[in-house]
Amino acid sequence: MRPRVTVITLGVDHLERSLRFYRDGLGFPTEGITGAEFEHGAVVFIDLQAGLKLALWPRASLAHDTGLSVAPPSATEFTLGHNVASRAEVDSVMQQARAAGARIVKEAHDTFWGGYAGYFQDPDGHLWEVVWNPSFEIQD
């Protein structure tokens, strides 16, 4: 299998609340909720970067589609890494997340490997790492 991840879907409990957090709070571009005319179809698509989208989909719809039961969420299952170009940008993004209503899990700090990073959770508990890695070149 060749890695071709094009959509990362987050199961959310309140689609409108999540839309407001990501669109209005973090400024992520989206056309809003689409597919609401279909049972279990309401979803939000957010353009992240070329060829990659973030989808917000109700956890109940995700469970229905997969046939799995809704299980308690766990913030330590995975993180979404948001790499930025500088330490100052880490601080700026963390401030924006805080203003949007994020729960700050760990304030931005120097890392053991020479970078600078902080963690926040979205309204559904999904964990984001905002990180400056001096070894990564960030391209817009």
Domain harbouring 12, CATH code: 3.10.180.10
Give the CA distances from residue 75 to residues 5, 30, 125, 132, in Å, rounded to whole numbers and listed in that order.
21, 24, 6, 21
For the chain, which ranges sit under pLDDT 50?
A: none
pTM, rounded to two decimals: 0.91
Residue 138: the pLDDT is: 79
- What pLDDT sits at residue 119? 98
Owning domain of residue 54: 7-66
In the chain, the number of structural domains is 2
pLDDT reported for residue 140? 65
Q: Are residues 53 and 93 in the same domain?
A: no
Q: Give the number of other Cβ atoms within 10 Å of residue 33's Cβ.
A: 16
The half-sphere exposure of 138 on its side-chain side, counting CA atoms within 13 A, is 15
- pLDDT value for 49: 87
Using the 8-state DSSP alphabet, how is residue 5 labeled? -
User: Is 105 within the bounds of a domain?
Assistant: yes
What gap in Å lies between CA 7 and CA 31, rounded to an integer? 16
Query: Is 138 inside any structural domain?
Result: no
Give the SS3 label for residue 18.
helix
73 falls within a domain: no
Is 137 contained in some domain?
no
Q: Is residue 28 part of a domain?
A: yes
Q: Could you tell me the two tokens for 66?
A: 């997969």
One domain, residues 61 and 83? no
- Per-residue model confidence (pLDDT) at position 38: 94
pLDDT for 98: 98
Q: Is 113 inside any structural domain? A: yes
